[in-house]
Amino acid sequence: MMLLSSLLYLYLLAAAALAVPAQEKRVHHQAGLSDHVHDDSQNYQYDHEAFLGKEEAKTFDQLTPEESKDRLAKIVDRIDTDKDGYVTHSELHQWIKHRQRRYIEENVNKHWKDYDQNRDDKIAWEEYKNTTYGYYLGEEFSDIEDKDTYKSMLTRDERRFKSADKDRDGIATREEFTAFLHPEEFDYMKDVVVQETMEDIDKDGDGKINLHEYIGDMYTPEDSESEPDWVQTERKHFGEFRDVNKDGYLDANEVAQWVLPGEVDHADNEAKHLIYETDTNKDGRLTLSEMLDKTDYLRMSTITDYGGMRVEEHDEL
């Protein structure tokens, strides 16, 4: 699941002229397919966004059942690359990976034109800084109530930008800017991902994450609300899996193993999960009929659009 921004962070970014949306600046807990917890006992929102993609998932929510089935049929036809009438694990895996790549590409393209002020197909740190924070720089954030927080955002952005800038020339190529926006996708940005994760969750600033901070980053209880099962599961995971040395805390190395588990292929896991939930006759592959029978489930899944799927467009895998 992706690490989510605080409301304050979202508010401050909204105050800047063209700031990167908060959800794109917050580092992911892991290279997941959705911001939602993957817990089918709560809802299918994780699967919804994994199958459909985030933006298309929103579109599906507005469709009638008939419209949902019609659009799902078009998507299934595109997933079935060999046109044999079945969606295999391999085809589904490749589709979800494709939607991941498209989401990142479209996200970078969306912001590129805003920040490349001189249209030289590069983005200098000064261009990014002036576009995002320019209104406040001359006043040293004097009109911002929590100017220290705003200054820390600028410092954090600059540190991440410099880390993404591999040749250290102060100018980001498209690849380097992609690393800036999506550091979890690049091996050389691993230290930045871990550092930002630690800073976001380590509220007492002692350089490690305790159980209270770990849970608090994901869940804030409402008055008289009983703790959901998934929170209890996360408490168990903290002690049994996350805290490797069993000292009661997560250090930087343990955070790295948690948020960047390189051996985990989330697209592959999601493909297996979707087939398990949808494959009525248990032959290991899906027919259009099986998928239409589970429209309500799949429209709540990452297949249908990871980051803005438009089925009417020509979009090769």
At position 80, the amino acid (one-letter code) is D
pLDDT confidence bin for 266, thresholds 50/70/90 = confident
Three-state secondary structure of 242-300: HCCCCCCEECHHHHHHHHCCCCCCHHHHHHHHHHHHHCCCCCCCEEHHHHHHCHHHHCC
pLDDT confidence bin for 67, thresholds 50/70/90 = confident
- Burial state string for 79-105 with b = 16 or more CB within 10 A and e = fewer than 16: bbeeeeebbbbebbbbbbbbbbebbbe
Per-residue confidence (pLDDT) for residue 88, from 0 to 100: 96
Contact between 183 and 164 under an 8 Å Cβ cutoff? The reply is yes
Provide mean pLDDT across the span 276-284: 92
Provide mean pLDDT across the span 238-264: 91
Q: Is 303 contained in some domain?
A: yes
Per-residue confidence (pLDDT) for residue 15, from 0 to 100: 30
Residue-number span of the structural domain to which 134 is assigned: 61-208+251-307
Provide mean pLDDT across the span 60-80: 82
Helix axis angle, 125-137 relative to 89-115, nearest 10°? 60
Q: Is 178 contained in some domain?
A: yes
C-alpha span between 47 and 60 (Å, rounded): 13
Is 90 exceeded by the pLDDT of residue 19?
Answer: no
Q: How many domains does the chain have?
A: 1
Q: Is 50 contained in some domain?
A: no
Helices (H), 174-251: 174-181, 190-201, 211-216, 229-237
Torsion of CA 286, 291, 293, 299, to 10 degrees: 150
3-state secondary structure of 3: coil
- Least Cα distance to 99 among 302, 266, 311 occurs for 302
Q: Is 282 contained in some domain?
A: yes
Per-residue confidence (pLDDT) for residue 187, from 0 to 100: 92
Average pLDDT, the chain: 77
Per-residue confidence (pLDDT) for residue 80, from 0 to 100: 95
Q: Is 143 contained in some domain?
A: yes
Is 80 exceeded by the pLDDT of residue 245?
Answer: yes
Q: Is 316 contained in some domain?
A: no
Is 70 exceeded by the pLDDT of residue 192?
Answer: yes
Indicate the helix (H) or strand (E) that contains 209: strand 209-210
Is 50 exceeded by the pLDDT of residue 302?
Answer: yes
Provide mean pLDDT across the span 266-293: 90
Q: Is 146 contained in some domain?
A: yes
Give pTM, 2 decimals.
Answer: 0.67
CA angle 260, 263, 267 (to 5 degrees): 85
Indicate the helix (H) or strand (E) that contains 132: helix 125-137
Per-residue confidence (pLDDT) for residue 79, from 0 to 100: 93
CA angle 234, 196, 243 (to 5 degrees): 35
Q: Is 166 contained in some domain?
A: yes
